[in-house]
């Protein structure tokens, strides 16, 4: 199979990331002011709880499937066999988990009282299973993934404004959110015949997948635990309002994390391909680029949104979410931690077959998160949950870094830390005064971001930072091509 352009993949994934950023940026300010912390908290709690059921249904296939399919993507028959094997395993587990889920609906009072919401949100389980997103990522079909996702997000955007008008519409909000995130998987299922044969190919060997699937499943368990445990524990130990505050902070964090990890998502199948074909030089070249990208993007994002947390929360959610400001400031350093571990874990350890290290790091993070949440949530509510996430992500980073110290130390030394620090200081000095300018949240964010990022990028461009220069040259070359085409 012909390799896709890595630059095109990166551009498409950035567009996909931007759509994930713009959709909540437009809808959440509207929805949060109508549903208030209690309504958004109910949906957030349901989504987090269902993620556990989905985690068991998916096992470790969403990540393992990318690696398994990337290895055999040049052999249609073997690719077909691999996909069919993984899909069968996925569907069997989905049926089992739906039986468990409906049993929980009947037996647990809190779930039974909001059963309609949980049934709606649970649709993500089957839609994710039939979507086989891992296949499309393994084949680097990022143009298709992006266009499809943007289309459904746009439809959901219109539905949000047309259908959600009162506090009791949180059921509609839950349904539309699932539609935006997962309904496009139906098209994945319909279009899969383009890449694999639909007829059974036989000679299935499910056993070969069991060991790696169990490892990746354990990784997914640990990750899901410490990424959703805060919301679930807040929901059981505190109130829906506390969950709403925390959800507002986490929503902004998740949007920013998608920006920081956008490059790593594209590079996973390519890194796996390089390792499989013994192209080690190319493998470490893209690894160095990925780490540099994370440092250049995550560090300023972290600082900017610590400084302008209040304005970000007030703009996205309204003044009713003032309790989300401090949790957001606490949780922002996770942008850098997650960005680095995304490269170390998903782009390095997984392709070279050391997923056990990733598993151990995530178990360590999950245990840390659980302990800190038990201690701090009763006293500090959403701020305690934020501290738990912060420390958990740091633990994951430290375990992965020390396991790869000899391999990645040189890559970390190649990052120009002083340039980044100076650029951030200059951007901060030029923008922070706007906090006292008595402007509303929107204008403060717009003006401060223009000043902060303009100065930050301008300084790095003047210092000829390689990645900034490369991106600039790529953009200007595209503009020149467009101008030449228009001139003809």
* DSSP-derived 3-state class of residue 6: helix
1 within a domain of the structure (yes/no): no
Pair (85, 113) in one structural domain: yes
Measured distance CA(461)–CA(419) in Å, rounded: 10
Same domain, 304 and 385: yes
**Are residues 211 and 135 located together in one domain of the fold?**
yes
User: Are 317 and 378 within one domain?
Assistant: yes
Is residue 75, in this structure, part of any structural domain at all?
yes
Q: Does residue 411 lie in a domain region?
A: yes
Do 351 and 476 belong together in one domain? no
Q: Are 37 and 163 in contact (CB under 8 A)?
A: no
| 334 is a domain residue | yes
- Structural domain including 32 reads 6-415
> Rg of the chain over CA atoms, in angstroms?
22
Residues 390 and 423 occupy one common structural domain: no
Cβ-contact 163, 35 below 8 angstroms: no
Distance CA 137, CA 61 (A): 12
Per the structure, the count of domains in the chain is: 2
Decide if 431 contacts 448 (C-beta within 8 A). yes
Domain boundary among 396, 415, 434: 415
Distances 148 to 15, 154, 181 between C-alpha atoms, Å: 12, 10, 11
**Of 353, 380, 415, which marks where a domain is finished?**
415
């567009």: which residue's tokens? 15
User: Tens-digit pLDDT profile for the chain (488 aa)?
Assistant: 445 555 566 666 666 666 666 776 677 778 878 887 778 778 878 887 887 788 888 877 887 888 788 888 778 888 888 888 888 888 998 899 899 888 888 887 777 887 888 888 888 888 888 888 878 888 777 777 777 778 888 888 888 888 888 888 888 888 888 888 777 788 888 888 888 888 887 788 888 888 888 877 877 777 666 666 777 787 777 777 777 788 788 878 877 887 777 665 555 555 555 655 666 666 677 777 778 888 888 899 999 999 998 888 888 777 777 888 898 999 999 999 988 888 888 777 877 777 788 888 888 888 898 899 899 988 888 888 889 889 999 999 999 888 887 777 777 877 888 999 999 999 999 988 888 877 777 788 889 989 999 999 888 888 877 767 766 666 566 555 445 545 55
> Both 335 and 467 in a single domain?
no
Contacts of 451 by beta carbon, 8 Å cutoff, 6+ apart = 427, 430, 431, 434
Residue 341 and residue 241 share a domain: yes
Last residue of a domain, one of 387, 415, 443: 415
Residues 45 and 125 in one domain: yes
The rounded distance, in Å, linking the Cα atoms of 283 and 281 is: 5
Q: Is residue 12 part of a domain?
A: yes
Same domain, 96 and 225: yes
Domain identity same for 411 and 461: no
The Cα 301–Cα 299 span in angstroms is 6
- Residue 421 has what pLDDT? 92
Task: Bin 313: left if φ > 0, else alpha if -120 < ψ < 50, else beta.
Answer: alpha
Identify whether residues 451 and 396 lie together within a single domain. no
> Are the beta carbons of 63 and 135 closer than 8 angstroms?
no
Residue 147 has a pLDDT of: 79
């Amino acid at each position: 199979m012909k390799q896709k352009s890595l630059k095109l993949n990166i551009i498409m994934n950035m567009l996909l990331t931007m759509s994930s950023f713009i959709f909540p940026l437009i809808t959440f300010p509207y929805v949060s002011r109508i549903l208030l912390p209690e309504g958004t908290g109910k949906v957030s709690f349901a989504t987090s709880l269902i993620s556990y059921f989905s985690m068991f249904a998916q096992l470790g296939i969403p990540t393992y499937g990318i690696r398994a399919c990337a290895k055999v993507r040049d052999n249609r028959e073997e690719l077909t066999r691999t996909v069919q094997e993984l899909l069968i395993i996925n569907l069997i587990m989905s049926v089992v988990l739906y039986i468990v889920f409906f049993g929980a609906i009947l037996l647990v009072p809190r779930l039974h009282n909001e059963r309609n919401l949980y049934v709606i949100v649970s649709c993500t389980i089957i839609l994710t299973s039939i979507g086989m997103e891992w296949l499309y990522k393994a084949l680097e079909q990022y143009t298709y993934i992006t266009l499809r996702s943007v289309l459904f997000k746009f439809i959901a955007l219109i539905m949000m404004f047309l259908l959600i008008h009162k506090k009791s519409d949180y059921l509609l909000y839950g349904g539309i959110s699932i539609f935006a995130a997962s309904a496009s998987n139906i098209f994945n299922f319909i279009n899969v015949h383009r890449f694999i044969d639909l007829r059974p190919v036989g000679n299935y060997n499910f056993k070969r997948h069991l060991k790696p699937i169990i490892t990746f499943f354990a990784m997914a368990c640990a990750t899901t635990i410490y990424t959703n445990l805060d919301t679930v524990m807040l929901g059981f130990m505190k109130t829906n309002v506390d969950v709403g505050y925390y959800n507002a902070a986490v929503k902004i964090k998740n949007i920013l994390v998608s920006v920081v990890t956008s490059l790593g998502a594209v590079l996973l199948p390519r890194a796996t391909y390089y390792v499989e074909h013994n192209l080690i030089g190319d493998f470490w070249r893209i690894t160095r680029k990925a780490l540099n990208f994370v440092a250049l993007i995550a560090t300023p994002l972290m600082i900017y949104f610590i400084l302008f947390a209040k304005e970000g929360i007030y703009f996205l959610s309204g003044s009713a979410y003032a309790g989300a400001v401090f949790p957001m400031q606490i949780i922002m350093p996770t942008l850098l931690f997650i960005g680095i571990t995304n490269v170390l874990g998903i782009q390095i350890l997984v392709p070279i077959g050391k997923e056990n290290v990733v598993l151990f790091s995530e178990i360590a993070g999950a245990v840390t998160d659980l302990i800190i949440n038990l201690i701090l949530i009763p006293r500090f509510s959403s701020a305690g949950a934020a501290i738990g996430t912060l420390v958990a992500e740091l633990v994951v980073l430290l375990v992965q870094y020390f396991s790869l110290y000899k391999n990645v130390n040189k890559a970390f030394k190649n990052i120009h830390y002083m340039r980044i620090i100076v650029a951030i200081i200059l951007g901060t000095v030029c923008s922070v005064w706007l906090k006292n300018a008595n402007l509303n949240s929107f204008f403060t964010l717009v003006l401060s971001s223009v000043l902060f990022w303009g100065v930050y990028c301008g300084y790095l461009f003047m210092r000829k930072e390689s990645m900034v220069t490369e991106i600039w040259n790529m953009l200007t070359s595209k503009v020149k091509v467009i101008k030449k085409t228009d001139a003809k």
